[in-house]
Structure 1
Amino acid sequence: MSRAPAPVSRALVVERPGEHRLTRGATPEPGPGEVRVRVAAAGICMSDRELYDGRRDPGYVRYPVVPGHEWAGTVEAAGEGVDPALVGRKTVAEGFRACGTCERCRHGETSLCGGGYAETGFTEPGAFADHLLVPARLLYPLDDDADLRAAALLEPAAVVAAAVRAGAPRPGERIAVVGAGTLGLLAVQLLAASSPGELVAVDPRASSGERAVEYGATRWVGPSGAEELGGRFDLVVETAGAPPTAAASCRLARRGGRVVLTGMFTPGAEGIDPVHLSLSQLSVRSVFGAPSSAWSEAVRAFGLGLIDPAGLITHEFPLEEFAEAIALVGAADEATGKVLLRPDKS
C-alpha cells in the first residue's frame, strides 16, 4: 500500500544580503504553546528591503532568515497547551517575542523588552512562507469575515496606533502628519477619528497627498508649503524617516507642542536643534515597533472600520516572484503603494 507524500511547505530564505532562495520542506509542526498559521498575505516594507540589502543594524537581524513581519493568515494547527478552538480562526500576531517578565514588560511596554531582541521575520522565521510558527500568546484573532489581504497591514497599523497613543490627540487640535506613505496614510485614518480641528498631510508627492485627503486629511502640502506652517500644530506625527523630517517636524510644532517620530532614520539624518527644542518646550517621543496595547487598538480599529488598509495595496506577487516584489519597495515610484507576497496564490 502506497503512502501519501508528506505535505510540502515553502519558505523564502535570505541566506545573506542580496542572496535568497525558495526552499521546500516538511510542513512545520507547532511545539508546546505554539500554533501553525497558513499565511494568506505578507507585506514587504523598507525594513525588509534593508534586511535584503544588508543595511539593517546587525543587532536587529540574524542571517539566514525567512523575512516577513507584516502578515495575516489562518490557524491551521495548535500545539500542546493551546486552545484547540483557535484552529480555523483568521489571525494576526505581534512580531516582538517579548519575555513578559522583565520590568518593562510588566509595565506593559513590551516593545521595550529587556530580555533581548527577538522579532518574527528578523531573528525568528517570518511569513514569506506557506506556514509560520508563532507563540499562541501573541495572537489576535480576527472576525470570520476579515479581509486577510488588508489585515496583513495591521503590523504597521499597530505602530501607528502606538504613535497616536504617544501623541494623545484631543478633539479640535491642529495636527500634521509628515509623510503619506503606508504609515502616514494609516496615521491620517486613525487621527481623523479623533475629531481634529485641522489635519494636514505633508508629502512631496501629489498622488500621496491627494490620497491622504481621501482618507481624512483636511488638506496636504509639500515641504515648501510646510515651511510656511512652522509653529502651527499642537501635534506632529512623523512617519517618513527621510533625512530632514525629524527636524522639520519639530519646526512644525507650536511652542509647547508634541512631536512623535515613527520613521526609521539612517546615519546622517538632520539632527533636532537643541536650542529650538529647549526654547519651544516641545515634548518629543519616538516609536519603534508596537506594544501589546497598541496592537489591541489597531485590531479593534480594523474591526470597526476606522482604518481601511486594503486601499493602500497596489501590487501582489507569489513567493516565486520575490525578486520583482522587493525591487519595487524603495524604488521611489509614485505608483507603488503597499506590496504584498501571497503564498496562498502561488
Structure 2
Amino acid sequence: MTTGTPGGGGGADTGRAAGAADAAGAETARSLVVERPGRHRIALAPPPLPGPGELRIAVHAAGICASDRELYEGTRAEGYVRYPVTPGHEWSGTVRAVGPGVDPGLVGRKAVAEGFRACLRCARCREGATSLCLSGYDETGFTRPGGFAEHLVVPARLVHPLPDDADLRAAALLEPAAVVSAAVLAAAPRPGERIAVLGAGTLGLLAVQLLAAWSPARLLAVDPRRPRAEAALTMGATDACTPAELGLDQGTDAAHPYDLVLETAGAPSTAHDACLLARRGGRVVLTGMFEAGATGIDPVRLSVAQLTVRSVFGASSAAWSYAVQAFSAGLLDPARLVTHELPLERFGEAVALLGGDDPTVGKVLLRP
C-alpha cells in the first residue's frame, strides 16, 4: 500500500461459480482509503463479493467534487461522513458479479447507481421522496465504500442500467446530473420562460443543458468567472454574465425579470441574489450546498414578491431516472465538462486542482 497527502468487486454469482472465477482472475483490487482527515492510502484487497440483493461494479471513472474535498479536509458536517472510508459518490462502471436474488442478465451491463441508501419503509420513502428518508443519512462514498476503487458493491435496487453504447466517461457525471434533475423537476420549467442559472460549475452547466431542452425564451448563465459563464453559451445558454453585471442593486422590478431562477453555486450571496433575480410571482430552486454565514433571503422580498422557493439536497429515484433518460436520449452531454483525468495514485493532485482558482479546471475524474 502507499500513503499520501494532497500535492504529493467477477461474473454472475447468483451463485458463486462465475463470481469466483472472476475473483481468481483479479486476485487483488485497489481502493483509495481516507483513514482520517488529511491522510489517505491505496489499499490492496480481493475484489468484494456481492451478498444477497447486491452486485459488484468494475469502476470505469469517478468524479471528484467539493464534497470529497470536505471529506478529505475534515470539514464535512458531523454525521455526513464515517472514517475510514473510500470516497467516490460520482461514478460509472460495468456489472461484473451479482449476488443471490439478482438477475444474472445484468452481468456485463454498463451502469450507475443511486448513492442514498434509503430505507424504502418510512413515510417520505413511501411518497417517493427517497432523498428525504427518515432513517438517517447513509450514502455511498461517505458512509459506505465508494467509487474511488477498482470495484465496489451496491444494492441492485439502486442500479440504473445504461445503453450498451453509453460513454462511461460521461456517465460518471450522472450523479450531479441527478441532483440537477431533482432541481428541474422541482422547478417545473415551461417552454418560453425566462430562466437564469446562478453558478457555472458542474451543477450549473448540467442545469443549462437540461433547461435548454425546455426551449426557454432566455437562458442566462451567471458566474463570477467569465470563462465559466461563457462556457454555458456552448451548452444551450442564450446569455452569460458576471454577478456584477446583473444590476440587482437597482431596486426595481426591471432588475428582476426571470420566471425561474435555479441556484447551483452555494456561494455566500447566491440564495439572496436568486430571490432578487426572480420576477414577482417567480420560482427559485436552491441546489448549491451553503455553509454557515451565507446571506439570508430577504423576507420582505420573499413576501411582497410572492416567490415560491424550493431546495434540493441529493436526488430521489425519480430524479435519477430523469437524468439517465436525458443522458440516454442525447439531451445531456456531461463529457464536455471533463478537463482532467488522473489515476487513483494522484488523488492528492486531484484535490489540489479542485481547490484551486484556475477557471480552466472543470470536472476532474479519477480512473481506477
TM-score (structure 1 length as normaliser): 0.97
Is 2:299 aligned against 1:274? yes
Local SS of the residue matching 1:61: coil
What are the equivalent positions in structure 2 for 1:51-62 lying under 5 Å apart? 51-62=71-82
Q: What secondary structure does 1:120 align onto?
A: coil
Contact kept? 2:281, 2:305, Cα under 8 Å = yes
**In the alignment, does 2:251 pair up with 1:237?**
no
Matched, 1:286 2:311: yes
1:139 match: 159
Q: Distance in 2 between matches of 1:155 and 1:6?
A: 28
Partner of 2:217: 197
**Alignment CA distance shift 1:86-1:281 (3 Å):** same
Counterpart Cα distance in 1 of 2:272 and 2:141: 31
2:46 is aligned to 26
Question: How much does 1:315 deviate?
Answer: 0.3
Structure 2 CA distance for aligned equivalents of residues 56 and 274 of structure 1: 29
C-alpha distance in structure 1 between counterparts of 2:346 and 2:216, whole Å: 42
Alignment of 1:241-252 (within 5 A): 241-252=266-277
Partner residue, 2:149: 129
2:365 is aligned with 1:340: yes
| Amino acid in the other structure paired with 1:146 | A
Q: Which amino acid aligns with 1:152?
A: A
In angstroms, what is the RMSD of aligned CA positions? 1.0
Is the Cα contact below 8 Å between 1:227 and 1:252 reproduced in 2?
A: no
Deviation for aligned residue 1:141 = 0.3
The answer to whether the Cα contact below 8 Å between 1:174 and 1:235 also exists between their aligned partners in 2 is: yes
For residues 101-140 of structure 1, what are the structure 2 equivalents within 5 Å? Answer: 101-140=121-160
Is 1:170 the counterpart of 2:190? The answer is: yes
For residue 237 of structure 2, what is the aligned residue in structure 1? 217
Aligned residue number for residue 327 of structure 1: 352
How far residue 5 of structure 1 moved from its aligned partner, in angstroms, is: 8.3
What CA distance in whole angstroms lies between the structure 2 residues aligned with 1:168 and 1:122?
Answer: 30
Does structure 1 conserve the Cα–Cα contact (< 8 Å) formed by 2:195 and 2:259?
A: yes
Tell me if 1:301 matches 2:326.
yes
Q: String of CA shifts for 1:92-119, please: whole Å, max 9, x gaps.
A: 0000000111110010000000111110
SS for the counterpart of 1:37 is strand
Q: SS where residue 327 of structure 2 aligns?
A: helix
Query: Which residue is 2:341 aligned to?
Result: 316
Please list the CA deviations of residues 61-97 of structure 1 after superposition, one character each: whole Å capped at 9, or x if unmatched.
1111100000000000000000000000000000000
Q: Secondary structure at the match of 1:126?
A: coil
Q: 1:39-65: per-residue Cα shift (whole Å, max 9, x none)?
A: 000000000001111110011111111
Answer yes or no: is 1:40 the counterpart of 2:65: no
Deviations 1:7-41 (A, max 9, x none): 10111000111110100011110000000000000
Aligned partner letter, 1:151: A
1:153 aligns with 2:173: yes
SS in 2 for 1:195: coil
What is the DSSP-based 3-state SS (H/G/I as helix, E as strand, rest coil) of the residue aligned with 2:79?
A: helix
Is the contact made by 2:230 and 2:241 (CA closer than 8 Å) also made in structure 1?
A: no
Does residue 77 in structure 1 map to residue 97 in structure 2? yes
Question: Shift of residue 6 of structure 1?
Answer: 6.3
After superposition, the C-alpha distances for 1:278-304 in whole angstroms (9 at most, x for unaligned) are 111111000000000000000000001
Following TM superposition, by how much is the alpha carbon of 1:253 offset from its aligned partner in structure 2, in angstroms? 0.3
2 CA distance for matches of 1:277 and 1:236? 14
Q: Secondary structure at the match of 2:206?
A: helix
Segments of structure 2 that go 5 or more residues without pairing to the other structure are: 1-23, 249-253
Q: Secondary structure at the match of 1:329?
A: helix
- Structure 1 CA distance for aligned equivalents of residues 26 and 367 of structure 2: 22
Q: Which residue of 2 aligns with 1:95?
A: 115
Hey, what's the Cα distance between the residues in 1 that align with 2:220 and 2:292?
28
* Cα distance change, pair 141–330 in 1 and its aligned pair in 2 (3 A): same
Gaps of 5+ in 1: none
Match of 1:227 in 2: 247
CA contact 2:59–2:149 (8 Å) conserved in 1:
yes
What whole-Å deviation, never above 9, does each CA across 1:115-156 have from its counterpart, x for those lacking one?
111100000000000000000000000011101010000000
TM-score, normalised to structure 2, is 0.91
